[in-house]
Amino acid sequence: MGALDPDVGQFMETLARMFPVPPADVSPTERRLSFRQVHEQLLHPPPPPAFAGDIVDDIVATDDGEVPVRVYSPATSTPTGPTLVFFPGGGWVIGDLETGDATARSLATQMDLTVIAVDYRKAPEHPFPAAFEDARAAVRAVAQQRRPSWLGVAGDSSGGNLAAAVAIDCAAARHQCDGQLLLYPALDPRMDTDSHRRYARGYLLERELMEFYWTSYRAEAPLDWHIAPALAPDEMLSEVAPVVVATAELDPLHDEGRDYAGRLLGLGIAATHLPGPGLIHGWVDHTGLVPAADQALRRAVAVFDALRRASTGDAATTER
């Protein structure tokens, strides 16, 4: 069992003091409001970080309808240049473009590429397959409409689930998907790993809350890889895009992320697992408050960007 980073411990105390745990029967609308308040008052208070480029709210027209997105275009980017489609986390229930804004800015800035954040439909009002369909449709539309030189998918937690599922779908359908950045992804609703047992209490993401998220998203749908990428058969996973999986050491989801990266590596996929020593679930949002979280994000981005550059033959390097 790893040791909790001291700054993480202090952050958790501050969070508990400012935002006590809500009652179990709180409505989804109230959960979303509380999550937004946590971001605005503690995690990423205004003003937002400066961004050298354009940030535009837009709509992606897909075969299944319109999907709201936010496009982050660095000043040096081009419409057909490298593009990353990003799915903000929040248990498929509470995340949105605002709570994912700081992460999207960081990804676009650190990798100097266009990031398109997707505001997929949320459970429980819109259970599976709504979020998956929005994510898949957005990636396909970006590939067809922008024709980027390189196209990756990324997401944190439930967003990482969607990114992984879309990557599998793209491989099966022979659609463009050139890389995956999965940040502490939720990959398996069975929740039977050692880390789920070890960190079920006291590390921000409580077991009951994760069960609520999975139940809200899955509803009555049969369990397969579209919902749980960890359940995809080897023959499907052996064709997916290269991946970087960055987990948190003290997170119920740690083992499923680590095991997924290990499984892909065993199938011949370029896969890297970064364990996040001392960190807890949600660390991408703890940057600015927890130095180790800043370091973890820079490391994950650097490894992922190196993977991208290697696949495109781009020998340029960026200072980290």
What does pTM read for this prediction?
A: 0.96
> Residue 62: enclosing H or E segment and its boundaries?
strand 53-62
Catalytic residue among 196, 226, 281, 286: 281
**For residue 120, is pLDDT > 50?**
yes
273 belongs to the catalytic site: no
- C-alpha 192, offset from chain centre: 21
SS3 115: strand
- Alpha-carbon span 8 to 203, nearest angstrom: 10
157 belongs to the catalytic site: yes
Question: pLDDT tens digit string along 246-301?
Answer: 999 999 999 999 999 999 999 999 999 999 999 999 999 999 999 999 999 999 99
DSSP 3-state percent helix, strand, coil across the chain (nearest 5): 40, 15, 40
Catalytic residue among 73, 77, 106, 157: 157
- Alpha-carbon span 188 to 194, nearest angstrom: 13
Catalytic residue among 96, 251, 255, 285: 251
Beta strands in 161-269 (DSSP E): 179-183, 243-246
Question: pLDDT tens digit string along 22-75?
Answer: 887 899 999 999 999 999 999 999 999 899 999 999 999 887 789 999 999 999
**For residue 8, is pLDDT > 80?**
yes
In the chain, where the domains are located: 6-22+29-312
SS3 289: coil
CB count in 10 Å sphere of residue 292: 18
Give the class (CATH, top level) of 6-22+29-312: alpha beta
- Alpha-carbon span 155 to 84, nearest angstrom: 10
